[in-house]
Chain A
Amino acid sequence: MLSSGLIIFLVLVLGVTAMGFLAANWGRANLQHFEEWALGGRRFGTLVSWFLLGGDLYTAYTFVAVPALVYGAGAIGFFAVPYATIAYPVVFIVLARFWSVAKRRGYITSADFVRDRYGDRTLEICVALTGVLAALPYVALQLVGMRAVFVQIGGIFAAGGSFVALAVAFAILGAYTYTSGLRAPAAIAFVKDALIYVTVIAAIVVIPAALGGWGHIFSVAQTALAARKTPAGILLSPGAYFAYATMAFGSCLSLFIYPHSITSILAAKSSFVIKRNAALLPAYSLLLGFLALLGFCAIAAGIVTKDGNQIVPMLFARYFPDWFAGVADAAIVIGALVPAAIMAIGAANLLTSNVLNQFTPQRPPSETRTAKALTLVVCAAALIFVVELPVQYAITLQLLGGAWMLQIFPTFALGLFTRWFHPKALLLGWACGMIAGTGMAYETFVATGKFQANFPLPLGSVTLLGFIALYALLVNLAVAALATLALTAAKVGAGTDATVAGDYA
């Protein structure tokens, strides 16, 4: 028999599916046009962009994994909050500028800009492939977030490792993304975010009170964390300060280089919309912060699970009536569908525009068809990835993906402000950064049996535990700067810059 929670869950999920298909009629645009399909015609105002970007950046996986990290490791897991705070000054300065040049010159992706700015095909392809490589495990992790809910619901949803439920969800996702392009997640984002706000606010009102207040929760959590096999706590240890700060800083630099961020940013109708959203989006970070605190609530509630990803659905099942748990479950599943669609579109755009295309500024009319087909390929690949391989692979690859993504920062983000770097030097820096990042991550695997985000860098007599992505970026920047000096001194041609100063205003 269907419970009230399950009925609400099904109604909400089917409702947004219908919205996804109907979104094709939004604005009566010609969806054969690449910009209309991929970027919603660059017409979204402040409100639509706020929901779209919020729905895109704060994914279901984030909402499941951040509390899980706090549950497992204590205070260090809270780094997501300063990260999601200082990312916005970066958006304000870097992405608003990118929007202007992209609008002026018709870019769909970050690599479109790189092609124009540096006139270097290899650099363009490397930037594009880095984005695709980082996006794929991210899409896969949205499935992991969904699976946590399906397992909690049980029954046919959990049958066969949730494979059937996940396959159905992703088939539907692929179908409406194919039909409606970016308009589909943009329409669904309204529902997703409304559900997320309602559930998180309810959770933060109800759960701490039921557990005897924050003071009690933190004192229980401190005792429990200190008794763990790897002791942790509700405060950082001094040895973790540098790791905490570098994780927040490194992550904030890479967040907006991801293909899904770029796609949502470019869908805005003006750079002013982006700046306004930089000031308004931190509302979601506040939500994320409160969700992170649910990790401590789970400890205080005595929830014991090997899979930390289950704690949010478990808390809702325990503290809320069945029908409301259905709302929360729907929030997580829909919360996975929105970013997964945008990530698939972003990756497909990069492959279409920068890898498969000829090296020309003209856009062939077949481009939209190619991108639509590739969206389906990306969804299928992510599904196979999650079903065939252990979850740990997706998590590890997403971790590595963060380090890889940051390696296009000099080419893309610094490139928006200066053409000082030589394109070949940027390429060399990128390669060294990729190798250094992957190498450090592998070292931690050899030392601890698990890929870690932080590397203990030996500096003379002390070791400095810091974020691998940021260490790799430093290698990248040093190599790019030195190689630029060398190549310029040797008078090697630096490629043509098709952009002019006026494009950036």
Chain B
Amino acid sequence: MKRRAWYWLLLLLLPFAGTLWPPFYDRLEPSFYGLPFFYWYQLLWVVLTSALLGIVLLATRKSDAL
């Protein structure tokens, strides 16, 4: 694996950091259309994770060993 390609994988740590620390998001406000922060924040991470995986996929598709 090329060294540069490997760095892109670090982006995939973000979803873990974003979702595995509940004290950060265990709150009601700001709510979104009545949905407490706790819920829409975690749903938002579903979308963000999908986007991050897409970015990593595009950035690393040329490095065959990944």
Interface residues of A (CB under 8 A from B): 75, 78, 81-82, 84-86, 88-89, 92-93, 213-218, 234-236, 238, 240-241, 244-245, 248-249, 272, 275-276, 278-280, 282-283, 285-286, 289-290, 293, 505
Contacts of B35 in A (CB 8 A): 214, 218, 293
Selected from A93, A238, A244, A282, the residue in CB contact (under 8 A) with B49 is A282
10 smallest CB-CB distances across A and B, nearest first, come from A214-B34, A215-B34, A279-B53, A82-B19, A89-B12, A282-B50, A241-B22, A279-B54, A245-B20, A285-B46
A290 contacts which chain B residues (CB < 8 A)? 43
Asked if A86 contacts B33 (CB within 8 A), the reply is no
Q: List 26 A-B contacts (CB under 8 A).
A: A75-B38, A78-B42, A81-B43, A82-B20, A82-B45, A85-B49, A86-B49, A88-B15, A89-B13, A89-B16, A213-B33, A213-B34, A214-B34, A214-B35, A235-B26, A235-B36, A248-B20, A249-B20, A276-B57, A282-B49, A289-B39, A289-B42, A289-B43, A290-B43, A293-B35, A505-B64
Measured between C-beta atoms, what is the minimum distance from A82 to chain B in Å?
4
Q: CA separation between A285 and B33, bound complex, in Å? A: 20
In the complex, chain B residues whose CB is within 8 Å of the CB of A245: 20-22
- Whether A236 and B19, one on each chain, are in contact in the complex, defined by CB atoms closer than 8 angstroms, is no
CA distance A285 to B50 in the complex (A): 10
The verdict on A286 contacting B43 (CB below 8 Å), with A216-B34, A245-B21 known, is: yes
Least CB separation from B12: chain A residue: A89
CA distance A282 to B9 in the complex (A): 18
User: Is the CB–CB distance between B34 and A85 below 8 Å?
Assistant: no
For the complex, give the distance between the alpha carbons of A381 and B22 in Å.
40
Residue of B nearest to A276 (CB): B57
Instruction: Chain B residues near A78: list those with CB within 8 A.
Output: 38-39, 42
Q: Select which of B15, B34, B65 is within 8 A of A505 by beta carbon.
A: B65
In the bound complex, residues from chain A placing their C-beta under 8 Å from that of B21 are 245
A82, A92, A289: the one contacting B56 at CB < 8 Å is: A92
Q: Which of under 10, 10 to 19, 20 to 34, or 35 or more describes the interface residues of B? A: 35 or more
- With beta carbons under 8 angstroms apart, the residue of B19, B20, B42, B50 that contacts A279 is B50
Interface residues of B (CB under 8 A from A): 9, 12-13, 15-16, 19-23, 26-28, 31, 33-36, 38-39, 42-43, 45-47, 49-50, 52-54, 56-57, 61, 64-65
A86 and B15 within 8 A (CB): yes
Can you name the residue of chain B whose Cβ is closest to the Cβ of A242? B22
A433 to B35, alpha carbons, bound, how many Å? 40
- Contact call B46/A85, Cβ cutoff below 8 A: yes
Known contacts: A82-B42, A235-B27. The answer to whether A282 contacts B36 by CB under 8 A is no
Instruction: Name the CB-closest residue of B to A96.
Output: B66
Chain B residue, CB-CB nearest to A243: B22
Chain B nearest CB, measured from A83 CB (Å): 9
What B residues does A215 contact at CB under 8 A? Answer: 31, 33-34
B49 to chain A, nearest CB (A): 5
CB within 8 Å for A278 and B53 given contacts A218-B34, A245-B20, A286-B46: yes
Contact of B12 among A75, A93, A216 (CB under 8 A): A93
The chain A residue sitting closest to B1, CB to CB, is: A505
Provide the bound-state CA to CA distance between A217 and B54, in Å.
35
Q: Give A419 Cβ to nearest chain B Cβ, in Å.
A: 17
Complex Cα spacing A88 to B35, Å: 25
Given contacts A82-B19, A85-B15, A92-B57, 17 further A-B contacts (CB under 8 A): A81-B43, A85-B45, A86-B20, A88-B50, A89-B16, A89-B52, A92-B53, A215-B31, A235-B26, A241-B23, A248-B19, A275-B57, A279-B50, A279-B53, A282-B49, A282-B53, A290-B43
Most buried by A among B35, B53, B65: B53
Expressed in whole angstroms, the minimum distance between the Cβ of A321 and any Cβ of chain B is: 26
Tell me how far the C-beta of A470 lies from the nearest C-beta in chain B, rounded to whole angstroms: 12
A441 to B33, CA, bound (A): 40
- Minimum CB–CB distance from B18 to chain A (whole Å) comes to 9
Q: Which residues of B contact A276 (CB under 8 A)?
A: 57
Contact A236 B22 (CB under 8 A): yes
**Residue on A nearest B27 in the bound complex, by CB:** A235
Q: How far is the CB of A212 from chain B (nearest CB, A)?
A: 9
A81, closest chain B residue (CB):
B42
Contact of A280 among B27, B42, B50, B64 (CB under 8 A): B50
Complex interface: chain B residues within 8 A of A238 (CB): 23, 26
Residues in chain A near residue B15, CB distance under 8 A: 85-86, 88-89
- In the complex formed, the residue of A with least CB distance to B50 is A282
